[in-house]
Copies of this chain bind each other. A is one copy, B any other.
Amino acid sequence: MHQSQTIERIRVRYGETDQMGHAYYANYLYWFEQARGAWCRDRGFTYKQFEERGVFLPVVEVHARYKGEVTYDDWIQVKVWVSEVKRAAIRFDYEITNESTGKVCTEGYSWHVFMGEERKAISIPEDIKGLLNRNPEDFETIG
């Protein structure tokens, strides 16, 4: 697996805060997902294309460690990379840096299984393995 990283910048929405004054913990999972989408596009394909051909990657496990605050209007950088690939599953790791402090504020990972049209686990198709192994430097990012 080519462990190259993709970084997705996201600005925190007002509706993503809670009354404690920082981002509610569930929103990080939306940001993880947005970063996964960017990771695909950096390698010349989209997750949407996977679903269009009947391959789905539901999340089967997620973990997040919140180490620092994220507040409204902050720019965050979500660094994402594939840390492990099994026969029918893939793990993405995340590291979020808050640009307003320059510090890593969150770390996490998620496991996804490959699922076919019949909603059952499948081995990763060979051509998709090829996509996952792409070096982003060799491909144009999909806009």
Contacts and interface: CB of A to CB of B under 8 A. Distances in A.
Contact of A61 (B21, B51, B65): B65
Nearest to A109: B63
Interface SS of chain A: mixed
Q: Quick one: copies of this chain in the complex?
A: 4
A129 interface: no
Nearest to A17: B19
Interface residues of A, number: 37
A67 interface: yes
A72 B29 contact: no
Interface of A: 11, 13-15, 17-22, 24-27, 29-30, 33-34, 37, 46-48, 51, 56, 58-67, 71-73
